[in-house]
């Protein structure tokens, strides 16, 4: 295992924040002749490995899309399995996350999650809040449009109450009302399984992210695959609309 940063990567040009759309669990399971849920189970192991890899290689923040606001439309048994998987993983991994100094945070409308999962989430966020290692964000019941709407509602209420001038609504102020407040925007977005779309993920925050799409299915996305993504990222010329 590549514990150290591979020699062909430049340490001073690593993304500070990596976001991943973990897609392809169902297709992976199908390819193995297994039920879809087995793909999710394997996908959870992949995420754990990626978190540790980011931490080993000195990447400060990882954000993973675990469940979208649209994913409620899946068969009930798949949704139920995912909710109980999230809960089991949190319970099982909390001790290790403490040892590895991970700060975990969940973003999305958490109020619609099963209450036992909400309790596990609250516990893990509270326990790891003062850790100093990697910032690990899990988007659960997350939708980019929903996030923007709830920010608008909060801001509109302040305007209505007379505590905020409309002209004081800046990009900085708006970003403070998003779930990701305090976490910098992703530098690199990875999507597995070849789909070339955002699927309602971090619509605001991805404005200038570099995108890396691979045909590899999420359960097969290992350190070598992540290494390839970082090589690709380091070849990019990030212009941010300017000329050199």
Per the listing, tokens 């089991």 go with: 88
**CB-wise, 73 or 241, nearer to ligand IPE?**
73
Residues whose CB falls within 8 Å of the CB of residue 213, separated by 6 or more in sequence, listed in order:
190, 191, 194, 195, 196
Can 130 be counted among the known catalytic residues?
no
Residue count (the chain): 244
Residues whose CB falls within 8 Å of the CB of residue 150, separated by 6 or more in sequence, listed in order:
109, 177
**CB-wise, 42 or 105, nearer to Mg ion?**
42
Region binding Mg ion by CB under 5 A among candidate stretches 22-30, 52-60, 64-72, 116-124: 22-30
Shortest distance, position 21 Cβ to ligand IPE, whole Å: 5
Region binding ligand IPE by CB under 6 A among candidate stretches 54-62, 129-137, 189-197, 202-210: 189-197
**CB-wise, 155 or 201, nearer to ligand IPE?**
201
Identify whether the C-beta of residue 89 lies closer than 8 Å to the C-beta of residue 96: no
Can 71 be counted among the known catalytic residues?
yes
Residues whose CB falls within 8 Å of the CB of residue 183, separated by 6 or more in sequence, listed in order:
17, 61, 63, 105, 135, 137
Instruction: Among 14, 22, 23, 67, indicate the residue that binds Mg ion (CB under 5 A).
Output: 23
68/79 Cα distance (integer angstroms)? 11
**CB-wise, 75 or 166, nearer to ligand IPE?**
75
Indicate which residue of 56, 71, 127, 222 is catalytic.
71
Alpha-carbon distance values, 144 to 52, 65, 149, 173 (Å) = 26, 11, 9, 17
58/80 Cα distance (integer angstroms)? 35
Shortest distance, position 75 Cβ to Mg ion, whole Å: 14
Partner interacting with residue 140 (select from Mg ion, ligand IPE, none; CB below 5-8 Å by kind): none
104/128 Cα distance (integer angstroms)? 6
Instruction: Convert residues 61-90 into a mask of x (bound to ligand IPE by CB under 6 A) and - (unbound).
Output: ----xxxx--x----------x--------
Return the residue nearest ligand IPE (CB atom).
26
Using CB under 5 A, list all residues that contact Mg ion.
Answer: 23
Instruction: Give me the active site residues, please.
Output: 23, 71
Using CB under 6 A, list all residues that contact ligand IPE.
Answer: 21-27, 65-68, 71, 82, 193, 195, 197, 199
């Amino acid at each position: 295992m590549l514990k150290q940063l591979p020699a062909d990567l430049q340490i001073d040009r690593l993304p500070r924040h990596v976001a991943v759309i973990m897609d392809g669990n169902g297709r992976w399971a199908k390819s193995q002749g297994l039920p879809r849920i087995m793909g999710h189970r394997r996908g959870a192991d992949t995420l754990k490995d990626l978190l540790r890899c980011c931490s080993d290689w000195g990447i400060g923040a990882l954000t993973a899309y675990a469940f979208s606001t649209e994913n409620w439309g899946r068969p009930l048994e798949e949704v139920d399995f995912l909710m109980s998987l999230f809960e089991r993983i949190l319970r099982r991994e909390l001790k290790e996350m403490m040892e590895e100094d991970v700060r975990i945070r969940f973003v999305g409308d958490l109020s619609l999650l099963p209450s036992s999962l909400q309790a596990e989430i609250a516990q893990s966020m509270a326990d790891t809040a003062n850790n100093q290692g990697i910032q690990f964000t899990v988007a659960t019941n997350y939708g980019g449009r929903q996030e923007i709407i709830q920010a608008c509602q909060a801001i509109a209420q302040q305007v209505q109450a007379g505590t905020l001038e409309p002209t004081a609504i800046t990009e900085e102020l708006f970003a403070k009302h998003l779930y990701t407040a305090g976490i910098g925007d992703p530098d690199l977005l990875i999507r597995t399984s070849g789909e070339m779309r955002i699927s309602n993920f971090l619509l605001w925050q991805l404005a200038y992210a570099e995108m890396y799409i691979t045909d590899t299915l999420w359960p097969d996305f290992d350190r070598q695959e992540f290494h390839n993504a970082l090589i690709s990222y380091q070849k990019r010329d990030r212009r941010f609309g300017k000329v050199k």
